[in-house]
Amino acid sequence: MSDPTATTTMTVPMIPVTIDGRQIEVKPGTTLLEAASMLGISIPTLCHNPAVEAYASCRVCITEIEVRGRKRMVTACNYPIRESLAASTESDATVRQRRGVLGMMLARWPNVPVLKEMGLRYGVAPASYSHPLRNEAPDACILCGLCVRACSEMVWEHIIGFAGRGATRRVEMPFGLQSDRCTGCGTCAYICPTGAIKVTDEKNEPVDPARIRKYGFRLTSEMATLDDTQCKMRRVGTAHLVEIMDAYDLLPTYNFRFGRHKDVERISSPVWTSMVRQNVPDGCWAGCQMSCAKAVDDFVPRTGPYRGKKVIVDGPEYETVAGCGSNIGVFDPHDVVEINFYCDTYGIDTISFGTACAFAMECYEAGVLDEGKTGGLALEFGNGSAALELLHQMSRGEGFGTVVGQGIRRMKAIFAEEFGADRHFLQDIGMEAKGLEYSQYISKESLAQQGGYAMAQKGPQHDEAWLIFMDMVNKQIPTFEAKAEALFFFPMWRTWFGLMGLCKLPWNDIEPADNATMKEPNKVPGHIEGYENFLSGMLGGEYKLADILEMSERVYNFQRVFSIRMGRGRRSDDRGPYRAMGPVTVEEYESRSERYDTQLREILKVEPEEMSIPERMALLRRYREEQYESLLDAVYKRRGWTRNGTPTPETLKRLKIDYPWVLEVVRARMEEEGSA
Amino acid sequence: MAGTITVNDCAMPWHSGMTVADVLREARFVFPLLVVSLDGRLVPRADYDSVQVPDGSRVDVIHLMSGG
C-alpha cells in the first residue's frame, strides 16, 4: 500500500491536482481517493478499507476526471495519479453514475443499512422492478470482497474466497466447508460493512466479544498499514533491531565489552529478510497479524546429527542474533541460524547459551582457559565451529559442554576453585545475576536499565523494563525519582501480560498513527485503552489502568515474598556484574575514552589527562556503583519496600495480601535486617 | 557562522538550512519510532524533510520502545 505521507530521502516531483476546484500536490501513485481525503473531501466507498488493497468492486466511488482536456470516469479508490488532473466528485456525470450503481445494489439488497444510507445521500428511489436475486436481509453479503482481502492480506491465511460466478457468486470457505485453519480471529467479521459474517466465540466465552473485536481490529489495521514504516515485524521480526542497536552502541559484542561492530551488516535485517519465509502466518497466536516468529526453510546444518539434512529453523529473533552472533563474535548468518536450530532442538535457551558462551570465550582469550581445560576447543571469539561443538557437547553431556552448560554462576566458581582464576575478574565479566544470564543489550550508559536488568525478579531479562532509550537517549528520566517511577510503572505494566497469558509485542512494537500526539507516547496510551477494553469485554465490568497495575503489583510483591521465603530477595541479589555498569578492562575504557573522560570532567570535576587509565576507571567505577545504590534506594521506596528490598507490612496491607503467613515471612526478614 | 542547537539535552553543531531530517541523520537516530518536537512543538513525520531547525533551537527526539 502506498503511504502518501511517507518521508523519503529522494526528492520526488509532486503532481498538482485539482479536486472540486481545490488544489493539492501529491506524490505519484497517490490514489484519487487518498488525494480527496487529504483535502477533506469525502468520496463514498463500500468496498474500500485502507488496510487492504483497493479492489473497486462496488463502483460507488466512481468519479469524473479531466486529464489533458479529456473527460472520463474512474474508480477513485484504485486510480493512481500519474499526471495532473481535475476531478469533480459531485458533477452531474459523477452523481448520475453513482445513482445507477446504488440503484442496482438497492434493488438486490434493499434493507442493508449502509446501502440505504448511501441511497438517501444520492436520492436513489426504491427500485421499480423486482430483482431476481432480491435478498431482504439487513445483514446480506453485498460481495464487496473486503473479508476475502482481509483474510488474505492481513491474516495471510487465504481461507475465505469467492466461489461461483455471476448470479451464484458468493463468499465461502473451500468447498463450502468449515476450514480447520480458521481460528476465528474475527478480522473478516469486523471489516464486513453489513454484518454478514458472524463469529461465534465459544472458546473463551467473553462477556462482550464485539467490544474486544473492536480493539483487536484496530490493532490488526495498524499492523497492515503501519508496520512497514515502523518496526517491520511482519517482514523481519525483532531481528530488525540488530542494525539499530549497533547504531546506538547497544549491540553486545565480545561478551558485552562493546556496543557495535564493523561487520554488523552481515547479520542485519536485509540478510534475515532474504533468509526467512515471507507472507505466511506464524501460527504463534490465533489470528495475530504481527506474525513476527520467522522461519528459515530448507536450512542445511553443517554439523551435528542433522548435518546435510534439510530442516526448518524457527527464528532467529534479535536476542538470538545478538547472543549467538555478535556477542560471541560470530558474523556468519549461517552459523547463527545453525546455533539457533540446535538450541531449539536440544531445548536450550539461545540467550543463556550465547551469554554463557561469550563468557567462556572471554575467559579463554584472557588466559583463564586453554585448550587443555576445554578439551581441545579453541574458544576464541568468532569461532562458530567451536561454539557449535560446545552446544553438541552440552546436549550429549560430554566434555567442556558439561561445564558451560551449568551456566555462568557455576562456571565462575569452577574456574576460580579449579583453575585458580581471579574471582573479582570473573565476577566483573560474568554477565549473570540471580543465576540467569543477561539478555542482549548494553546497559553501561543507562542507570535505569542497569536496575531494569539486575532488579528483575527472574534475573536480568529485559521483559520487566527496557528503559535505555528513555534514559540514555531521550534523557526523559534524569532523576532517581523519575527512574524509580519508570521502574515501577513498566515492570507492573509488563507483568500484567504474563498474568493474562498475552504477548507484549502488540503493545509497543506497533504504534497507533497518532501516538506521537499523546502526552506519554512511551506508554502507547491508545493501546493501553485497548487492553482496558479487552479486559472489560472479557470479564464484564470496567477495568482501568490503575486496576491493571494493582493486579500486577499484588503478584509482583508475592513474587518478592516467595524469593524472601527461599532465602533470596535481598538488596545484594539486586546487583549485577560491573560489566553491565561500566568498562571492566582498559581496552573497554580506551575504546570509548572520550565518553568516559567527558563524564569524569563534567560530573566528577577532575582532569582525566592528569590520571592514568586505571585511576580513571577506578574513579568512574566508584561513581557508577554509588549511583546504582542510590537507584536501589529510590526504587525500593517507590515500591513500598525497605532499604533491603523487603515489602513492608503497610505495602502488603494496601495490596490486600497481608495474610498471616506472608507477614510472617517479611517480618522475619525485617528483623534480620534490623528494620522491623 | 556555525551555531549550536540542543538535541536531547546535548549540544549539536548547527548549519544553515538544517532540517529535522538532517538532525536525525547527523545524530544517527535511525530508530523508526520517534516523536520529534522543535522548541516544544510537535513535528509530524511527513514534515521532517521540510521543517528547518533555527540556530539555537531545542530539538527533543523521543525514542519509543520496541523489542521483546
**3-class state of residue A296 by DSSP:** strand
Is residue A165 located within the same domain as residue A189?
Answer: yes
pLDDT for the residue B48: 95
Is A96 inside any structural domain?
Answer: no
The predicted structure's pLDDT at residue A512? 94
| Across A75-96, average pLDDT | 96
pLDDT of residue A418: 97
- The answer to whether A390 and A263 have CB atoms below 8 angstroms apart is no
Domain assignment of residue B10, given as a range: 3-63
A39: pLDDT strictly greater than 80: yes
Same domain membership, residue A250 and residue A391: yes
Task: Tell me the C-alpha distance between A151 and A52, whole Å.
Answer: 10
Position A51 pLDDT exceeds 90: no
Q: Is residue A3 part of a domain?
A: no
Whether A247 sits inside 8 A of B63 (CB atoms) is no
Q: Nearest CA to A375 among A363, A390, A362, A388?
A: A390
Give the mean pLDDT of A138-160: 94
Q: How far apart are CA A506 and CA A523, in angstroms?
A: 12
Q: Which of A229, A505, A522 sits opposite B64 (nearest CB)?
A: A522
Check CB contact of A603 with chain B, cutoff 8 Å: no
Residue A147: how many CB atoms within 10 A of its CB?
Answer: 23
**For cell 427500485, what's the residue?**
A127
| Domain-located, residue A131 | no
Identify any residues that bridge with A347 across adjacent strands, giving them in sequence order. Answer: none
Contact A254, A362 (CB under 8 A): yes
The CATH number for A43's domain is: 3.10.20.740
CA-angle at B18, arms to B13 and B20, nearest 5°: 100
Are A181 and A202 found together in one domain?
Answer: yes
Q: What is the DSSP secondary structure assignment for residue A471, as one 8-state letter?
A: I
Rounded to the nearest integer, the mean pLDDT of chain A is: 94
Contact criterion met (CB below 8 Å) for B37 and B59: yes
What b-and-e string marks burial along A95-107, b requiring 16 or more CB atoms within 10 Å of the CB? bebbbebbbebbb
CB-CB neighbors (< 8 A) of B61 in chain A:
473-474
Mean pLDDT of A171-195: 89
What pLDDT does A282 receive?
Answer: 82
End position of a domain, from candidates A222, A245, A266 = A222
* A649 or A51: which leads in pLDDT: A649
**A317 pLDDT above the threshold of 80:** yes
Range of the domain at A78: 15-90
Are B65 and A475 in contact (CB < 8 Å)? no
What are the φ/ψ torsions at residue A174 (nearest 5 degrees)? -50, 130
Q: Do A474 and B21 touch (CB under 8 A)?
A: no
Cell of A475: 534523557
Decide: A267 and A242 in contact? Cβ < 8 Å: yes
Q: Are both A594 and A550 inside the same structural domain?
A: yes
Spell out the residues 6+ positions from residue A640 whose beta carbon is closer than 8 angstroms to its own: A647, A648, A650, A651, A654
Find the closest chain B residue to A236 by CA distance: B67
Whether A469 and B63 lie within 8 Å, measured CB to CB: yes
Is A426 within the bounds of a domain?
yes
- Residue B59 lies inside a defined structural domain of this protein: yes
Please indicate, yes or no, if residue B68 is contained in any of the structural domains: no
Asked whether residue A132 is assigned to any structural domain, the reply reads no
B contacts of A6 (beta carbons < 8 Å): 46
Using an 8 Å CB-CB cutoff, list chain A residues near B68. 238, 317-319, 439, 462-463, 504-505
Amino acid identity of residue A254, one-letter, is Y
CA gyration radius, chain B: 12
Mean pLDDT value across residues A533-552: 96
| CATH label of the domain that carries residue A279 | 1.10.569.10
Identify whether the C-beta of residue A399 lies closer than 8 Å to the C-beta of residue A360.
no
**Poorest-confidence range of A188-202, A415-429, A557-571, B28-42?**
A188-202
How many whole angstroms separate alpha carbon A105 and alpha carbon A86?
28
Choice among A33-37, A211-215, A612-616, B15-19 with the minimum mean pLDDT: A211-215
Answer yes or no: do A231 and B62 touch at CB < 8 A.
no
Q: Is the peptide bond before A316 cis (omega within 30 degrees of 0)?
A: yes
Q: Which three cell numbers stand for residue A647?
A: 515489602
A470 plus A329 within the same structural domain? no
Q: Are residues A458 and A508 in the same domain?
A: yes
- Asked if pLDDT for residue A288 goes beyond 90, the answer is no
Please give the biggest Cα pair distance in chain B: 45
For A571-590, the pLDDT digits (tens) are 999 999 999 999 999 999 99
Please give, one letter per residue, the 3-state secondary structure of A254-279. Answer: CCCCECCCCCHHHHCHHHHHHHCCCC
- Whether residue A272 is contained in a domain is answered as yes
| Total tally of structural domains belonging to chain A | 4
Check CB contact of A463 with chain B, cutoff 8 Å: yes
pTM score of the predicted model: 0.89
Going from the C-alpha of A192 to that of each of A48, A105, A107, A140, A199, the distances in angstroms are: 10, 16, 20, 10, 12
Mutate to test the interface with A, among B33, B48, B59, B61 (most CBs of A within 10 A): B33
Q: Mark whether A277 and A154 lie in a shared domain.
A: no
Q: Is the pLDDT of residue A261 over 80?
A: yes
pLDDT in the model for residue A187: 87
Q: Provide mean pLDDT across the span A72-87.
A: 97
Domain shared by A465 and A496, yes or no? yes
Torsion of CA A379, A381, A383, A387, to 10 degrees: 60
B58-63 and B3-7 beta bridge pairing: parallel
Interval A397-413: pLDDT, tens: 999 999 999 999 999 99
CATH number at residue A534: 1.10.599.10
With cut-offs at 50, 70 and 90, classify the pLDDT of residue A220: confident
Give the containing element (helix H, strand E) for A162: strand A161-163
Spatial CA neighbour of A182 closest among A191, A172, A190: A172
Q: Residue A676 — very low, low, confident or very high, per pLDDT cuts 50/70/90?
A: low
E strands, A198-308, are 295-299
Instruction: Check which CATH number belongs to the domain holding B48 and give it.
Output: 3.10.20.30
Asked if residue A116 lies in contact with residue A140, where contact means CB atoms within 8 angstroms, the answer is no
Å between B21 CA and nearest CA of chain A: 9
Pick from A222, A253, A278: which residue ends a domain?
A222
Q: Residue A286's pLDDT is what?
A: 75
Q: Please report the pLDDT score of residue A9 as a whole number.
A: 42
- For residue A158, what is the domain's CATH number? 3.30.70
List of chain B residues whose C-beta atoms are within 8 Å of the C-beta of residue A523: none
CA distance A357 to A83: 59
At A4, the pLDDT band (50, 70, 90 cuts) reads very low
For residues A448-475, give the mean pLDDT: 95
- Shared-domain flag, residues A390 and A254: yes
pLDDT at res. B68: 61
For the purposes of burial, counting CB atoms within 10 Å of the CB of A128, is it exposed (0-12), middle (13-18) or buried (19 or more)?
exposed
pLDDT of residue A281: 83
Question: Does A469 contact B31 at a Cβ distance shorter than 8 Å?
Answer: yes
User: What was the pLDDT predicted at A190?
Assistant: 86
Can you give the pLDDT at residue A641? 98
Do A200 and A238 belong to one domain?
Answer: no
| Final residue in a domain of this structure, among A222, A255, A275 | A222
Q: How far apart are the first and last CA of chain B?
A: 45
Residue A454 lies in a domain: yes
* Within a domain: A509: yes
**d(CA A475, nearest CA chain B) in Å:** 6
- Count how many Cα atoms sit within 13 Å of the Cα of residue A48 in the half-sphere of its side chain: 21
Strands A311-314 and A436-437: unpaired
Same-domain check for residues A367 and A460: no
Contact list, B63 vs chain A (CB under 8 Å): 469-470, 473-474
pLDDT beyond 70 at A11? no
Q: Which of A82, A84, A57 is nearest to A70 (CA)?
A: A84
Q: Which residues of B touch A241 (CB under 8 A)?
A: 66-67
Please judge whether A229 and B32 are an interchain contact, meaning their C-beta atoms are less than 8 angstroms apart. Answer: yes
* pLDDT at position A83: 96
Cβ neighbours, 10 Å, residue A423: 13
Q: Which three cell numbers stand for residue A525?
A: 496510551
Q: Which three cell numbers stand for residue A332?
A: 556468519
Is A488 found in the same domain as A359?
no
How many domains would you assign to chain B? 1
DSSP string, B12-65: EEE-TT-BHHHHHHHTT---S-EEEEETTEEE-GGGTTT-B--TT-EEEEEE--
CA atoms within 13 A on the CB side of A390: 29
pLDDT at residue A201 is higher than 70? no
Q: How many angstroms separate the CA atoms of A583 and A621, rounded? A: 8
- For A456, other C-beta atoms within 10 Å of its C-beta total 22
